[in-house]
Amino acid sequence: MTTYLEDFNRGSIGTTAPNGATYVNNGGWTIDSNQGLSGANADWKTLVYEHGLTNPAMEVEPVSTDVDDYWGIIVRYTDENNWIVVACDKASNYLSCFRRESGFDFTIQNFLVGVPGPYPIKVEVNGNDFLCYANGVYVGTVTSSFIPSATYAGIGAFGESRFDNFSIYTVDVPPEEPAAASVDGGWGFIPIV
């Protein structure tokens, strides 16, 4: 298994990602107290790099976020105006998947998780399917064929957010969808305790 861990335990973000690739830092990400810190302005900030893995799994551990912010995992990225994010919507208790296309955001799917963040997010990629987890609990699968050849991934935040760890890794066997929770019309409710 290949694993790239960003633990933010150094003086500055710099330009070198955990696998030796170059970071693309949109939004002025910094390191503060061994945590990745996004800027406070109300716009998306992304910190991504080319991982070169097929069907990777990604995990992020947020530490704190502004009240009304989104923050999460950039699953696919080609440039600052075209990417896919699986993000916590802290104000409404949803785990949401957005597509940013030509600089505009479009909701792909929402899952009601029942508690506000921050909580760990995990995404397992299997082709165009993204298996989404909040606080270790499977909440649902999102399917999107947008920018399928994108090889960059990382973290993203709208507003100020802090992250402790971010990892991208391969899984030995492509992920299979866990037993589905009750989902009605594309909206799922998973209580997280």
Cα–Cα distance measured from residue 132 to residue 27, given in angstroms and rounded to the nearest whole number: 25
Which of the four CATH numbers 3.40.50.2020, 2.60.120.560, 1.10.3720.10, 2.60.40.1180 does domain 3-189 have?
A: 2.60.120.560
- Tens of pLDDT along 68-97? 678 899 999 999 999 999 998 877 788 999
* pLDDT tens digits for range 115-147: 777 889 999 999 999 999 998 999 999 999 999
Selected residue with higher pLDDT from 54 and 109: 109
Residue 130 corresponds to which tokens in the numbers above? 């993204």
Structure confidence by residue, pLDDT tens digits, 139-151: 999 999 999 999 8
Instruction: Give CA 129 to chain center in angstroms.
Output: 14
Which helix (H) or strand (E) covers residue 153, if one does?
strand 152-158
Taking the C-alpha atoms of residue 133 and residue 153, their distance in angstroms, rounded to an integer, is 17
- Bridging pattern class, strands 137-143 and 161-169: unpaired
